[in-house]
Structure 1
Amino acid sequence: MNREQISQLAHAAHPIAAPLGDDSVRRLLEHAVVRDDSRVLDLGCGGAEWLLRLLAAHPSARAVGVDVSGAALERARAAARSRDVHERLALHRAEAARFTAPEPFDLVLSVGATHAFGGLLPTLAAARAQLAPGGRVLVGEGFWERDPSSEAVRMLGELSDLASTLDQVVGDGWTPVQAHISTREELDAYEWAWSGSLASWALDHRGGPDSAQALEVATAHRDEWLSTYRACFGFVCLILRQTDEQPRDAEVA
């Protein structure tokens, strides 16, 4: 069983692959989408759950999702057809950091995928290159709520605290206009769903070729979360506008 298969099973009960509840996702999208006919891009879309929910709420919107996982994109296509939004969703199998589109977007998302770009600021640079005047970026990133152990840093990378994360964003030419910091309930619910979904699959397939591996991975993940990073890891979603952006209706000199 490869990493992609494990991730699919682990997210079965939590299709938003980030520590956010349904109400938080809805509120973020309400703040991020300012036009009913918005063009939206998700860089690192996975199963495209953000886009599927956005398209259902905005019947005139159109969306593009980009991901390297062919299996995730196939699931997204099937889900789009079942929700009757497939005609307004285009999906591309490509590296998100290398993707370019012929037209700019009113909203660019990248939630929990900054590792694919090499960090938060490279993610914002990629989003800026795709953004229409007056557009917004919705980015989700981890941060340290308190000083991490060296083991936590090894697992999750060189994150900053929340204030330093915001300083980086503002220093890069962005102004936060809305945000959501995941609650303890959301963080715990995500981790329990991740390890629990994978463990349940393993128990339902006892004796199968992958059941032992799945249970081992679920157990290890749960133990690492509880003993290593639960006490120090946080997650924030930021809605950003460019500080010196050109207004949408500004005339070009």
Structure 2
Amino acid sequence: MERDLLSAIAHRDHPIAAPVSEANLDRLLRRAALPEAARVLDVGCGEGEWSLRALELVSSAVADGVDISPHALASAGRAAAARGLSDRISLHSSPAERFSAPEPYDLVLCMGSTHAFGGLKPTMDAIARFVRPGGLALVGEGFWERPPTPELAEVIGDYRDLAGTVETAESEGWLTVYAHVSTLEEWDEYEWSWTGSLSRWAAEHPGPDGDQALAAAREHRELWLNGYRATLGFASLLLLRV
């Protein structure tokens, strides 16, 4: 069973696709204070929830969503149609590093997708070319709430603490103007939704695909509950291009 499909199923009940509540998603986007006719780029858009909500908040805004998953893009297209936003968002099947645009954007979103560029620093360098001078980026990135075990760090990846994460994000012409650190409650809602959606789907689809989905859900839950819960954090950084 392909990884993109597993991810799409896992995010069905939590299309925000990050440990962020709906209320805090709105708060972050409102802090961006997008102008009329704003241009928004959502890199690694997934189901498109972030960019679609931005369009709902600013009725004259338009957006581009970029992702490599056909399943996520199809879900984003259905969500846009259901919310009457299809004419204001264009969805692009493309690797993030290959996407190009004729005009700069007022806001670039990259929520939990910095792996597409190889990490936080390469992400900030890459998306700088998309943001107009004085424009904003909203970037979601993991960080260590407390020092991990060497074994956990090897599995999860190379993150810094919160101060180091902000320092990395600001290293080349960016200034943090607001941020949100996800709460344990937000993490638990995200992870129970992720593992629960996949487990429910597995129960409804007995056979090899269901077995793979259930195995993936159990493996993920084990790593979360006995590994990174309350150790791995998530910061949503609103950064000004200076």
> Shared topology, TM-score over 0.5?
yes
TM-score by length of 1: 0.92
Counterparts of 1:1-253 in structure 2, within 5 Å, are 1-205=1-205, 207-242=206-241, 245=242
Report if the CA contact (8 A) 1:32-1:239 is conserved.
yes
| SS of residue matched to 1:133 | strand
CA deviation after TM superposition for structure 1 residue 37, in Å: 1.7
Q: Which runs of 5+ in 2 are unaligned?
A: none
Q: How far has the Cα of 1:112 moved from its partner?
A: 0.2
Preserved CA contact (<8 Å) 2:41 2:109 = yes
- Separation of aligned partners in 1, 2:232 and 2:130: 30
- Which segments of structure 1 move beyond 2 Å, counting only runs of 4 or more? 169-173
Q: Which has the larger radius of gyration?
A: 1
Cα distance in structure 2, aligned partners of 1:211 and 1:34: 43
Kindly state the Cα deviation for residue 100 of structure 1 after the two structures are TM-superposed. 1.2
Report the AA paired with residue 215 of structure 2. Answer: E
Letter in 2 for 1:118: G
Cα offset, 1:71, TM superposition: 2.2
Q: Take 2:72 and 2:33, find their aligned partners in 1: how far apart are those partners?
A: 24
Match of 2:161, as an amino acid?
Answer: D
Q: Confirm or deny: 8 A CA contact 1:33 1:107 kept in the other structure.
A: no
Q: Give the distance between the partners of 1:222 and 1:107, measured in 2 at CA.
A: 34
2:45–2:66 contact (8 Å) kept in structure 1: yes
Alpha-carbon offset, residue 32 of structure 1: 1.6
CA deviations 1:141-164 (Å, max 9, x no partner) are 000001111222122210000011
Question: How many angstroms apart in 1 are the aligned matches of 2:6 and 2:33?
Answer: 32
Q: TM-score, normalised by structure 2?
A: 0.96
Aligned residues: percent identity? 50
Q: How many positions carry a matched residue from both structures? A: 242
Q: Which runs of 5+ in 1 are unaligned?
A: 246-253
